[in-house]
């Protein structure tokens, strides 16, 4: 069983276009506190069950928070949907992670006081209204990121994530402007 008093350690979901922010986050929090998800490729997700099991037993194993870096195209990626889904699952071997979304400066709704929901990863948005996921604007402030990580860990066992949505079967079209209801 997972030790609930363990230090904060984040798994980071990131679209290739937003790699620079992943690197900035790693520099802010330190390499020892981050597990990068971007090393995976679409081909790794062909067998969804095997991918999810491998992810939960490997990269997610020692993490307690998942940070989704939300750029303009993040919502289109099957890989990110699966990483978020695996992070929200709970079983005796690995408790679920808290989830944080960070709106990146590359998005037109960055620091606008609201975000355009149809370009937030669907599974992330599904869990925003119930409070399981919190979404913030990107800040290059280690103290801020650590505080929201700690709050996410506190919240994760008090709320039940919505896992109703079927996993993406493929990436959304590169030309897609938003997801459908």
Sequence spans of domains, the chain:
10-155
Question: What does pTM read for this prediction?
Answer: 0.93
Alpha carbon distance, N-terminus to C-terminus of the chain: 37
Nearest by Cα to 26 from 35, 17, 13, 14: 35
Residue 72 is predicted with a pLDDT of 95
> DSSP code of 103?
E
pLDDT digits (tens, 9 = 90+) for 54-90: 889 889 999 999 999 999 999 999 999 999 999 999 8
pLDDT digits (tens, 9 = 90+) for 129-160: 999 999 999 999 999 999 999 999 999 989 99
pLDDT digits (tens, 9 = 90+) for 36-59: 775 677 767 788 888 888 889 889
Residue 49 is predicted with a pLDDT of 86
Half-sphere exposure (Cβ direction) of 164: Cα atoms closer than 13 Å: 5
CATH class assigned to 10-155: alpha beta
């Amino acid at each position: 069983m997972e030790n609930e008093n363990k230090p904060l350690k984040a798994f980071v979901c990131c679209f290739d276009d937003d790699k620079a922010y992943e690197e900035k986050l790693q520099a802010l929090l330190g390499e020892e506190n981050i597990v990068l998800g971007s090393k995976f490729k679409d081909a790794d997700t062909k067998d969804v069950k095997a991918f999810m099991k491998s992810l939960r037993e490997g990269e997610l194993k020692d993490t307690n928070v998942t940070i989704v870096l939300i750029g303009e195209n993040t919502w289109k990626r099957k890989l990110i949907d699966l990483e978020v889904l695996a992070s929200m699952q709970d079983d005796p071997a690995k408790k679920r992670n808290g989830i944080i979304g960070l709106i990146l400066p590359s998005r037109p709704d960055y620091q606008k006081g609201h975000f355009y929901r149809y370009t937030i990863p669907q599974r992330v948005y599904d869990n925003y209204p119930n409070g399981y996921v919190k979404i913030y604007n990107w800040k290059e402030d280690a103290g801020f990121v650590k505080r929201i990580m700690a709050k996410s860990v506190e919240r994760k066992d008090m709320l039940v994530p919505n896992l109703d949505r079927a996993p993406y079967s493929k990436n959304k079209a590169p030309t897609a402007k938003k997801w459908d209801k």
